[in-house]
Amino acid sequence: MQILFLGTRGSIPSPGSDFSQYGGNTTSVIITGNNGTSLVIDAGTGIRQAGRLSNILEKPVMTLLFTHAHWDHLQGFPFFPGIYNKNLTINMLIAEPHLDSIRECLTKQMSGDSFPVHFDQLPAHIELIPIVNKHTIDDDLSIEIFENNHPSGATGVRCNSNDESITFITDNEIKLLKEQKRYDEFVSFCNGSNIIVHDGQYIETDMEIKKGWGHSTINDVAGLFIDTKPEIGIFTHHDPDRVDKEVSALEKQMQKLCKDAGNKTRVIAAREGQTWSTGS
């Protein structure tokens, strides 16, 4: 299995030379099963990069999952080339509780007021598919979902292919999951994953004003990797104000936290354009 990062930034794109190493586009990833079935998750501005999606766009059907309706996960959708292809069917997977809000936000975003093309008039055939607990895409790839702690909610996704798993959790506040006594349930959801990707937007001092905003700190994500022991642990949804050298420093800090706890996970800060494979 593998994961390709098309966008690694949280909240808003951050262009410029200070952000070139880890990337400035907002969240979008492609997860691919062992037999080549792909799932695109979220349509931040990273999804605009058609070159990196060429394998997917050549097929008649693709699958796109939205974690939630916040701006940085939808804002690239009007610029995604696949929606203008009349020969493409897009199966849009959405956790059932978020279906109405995501449909409404996609429609509003493309209503003529802020974008000239209307959602209802897109050439591609779009099928909205509500998900409850799990969903099988095909023999190669299936998913299970978790309700994250995030304002208005967000969906965590575990992708399974044969006996392998990649778990992708963006927009989730681990501290509040602990306060709600849901952390053990979350660890069980992630346990056994070969690769875990988790939102690591904040550092502890951010929480003085940003507690309750729905994101996790580097320390809490290190704790998750220590508790779940994936082969590879990746933090993403980098803060838009965090320049490359600061993200690098956080990567080193998280590596040290894991190493000091005797954890063998390979800890990495997500970089736009980079692919990670199970067993690598």
Question: Between residues 13 and 33, which has the closer beta carbon with respect to Zn ion?
Answer: 13
CA triplet 156, 145, 83: central angle to 5 degrees? 75
Question: Between residues 211 and 259, which has the closer beta carbon with respect to Zn ion?
Answer: 211
Question: Between residues 95 and 258, which has the closer beta carbon with respect to Zn ion?
Answer: 95
State the nearest-atom distance from the C-beta of 229 to Zn ion, in Å: 26
Question: Between residues 165 and 201, which has the closer beta carbon with respect to Zn ion?
Answer: 201
State the nearest-atom distance from the C-beta of 152 to Zn ion, in Å: 11
State the nearest-atom distance from the C-beta of 35 to Zn ion, in Å: 30
State the nearest-atom distance from the C-beta of 69 to Zn ion, in Å: 10
Q: Which residues contact 160 (CB under 8 A, 6 or more apart)?
A: 141, 142, 143, 144
Question: Between residues 72 and 272, which has the closer beta carbon with respect to Zn ion?
Answer: 72
Phi, psi of 32 (to 5 degrees): -125, 135
Dist. CA 277–CA 263, nearest whole Å: 20
State the nearest-atom distance from the C-beta of 246 to Zn ion, in Å: 19
Question: Between residues 160 and 216, which has the closer beta carbon with respect to Zn ion?
Answer: 216
State the nearest-atom distance from the C-beta of 102 to Zn ion, in Å: 13
Residues within the interface to Zn ion (CB under 5 A): 10, 72, 171
State the nearest-atom distance from the C-beta of 216 to Zn ion, in Å: 12
Cα–Cα separations (whole angstroms), residue 182 to 67, 148, 175: 19, 10, 10
Measure CA 237 to chain center. 8
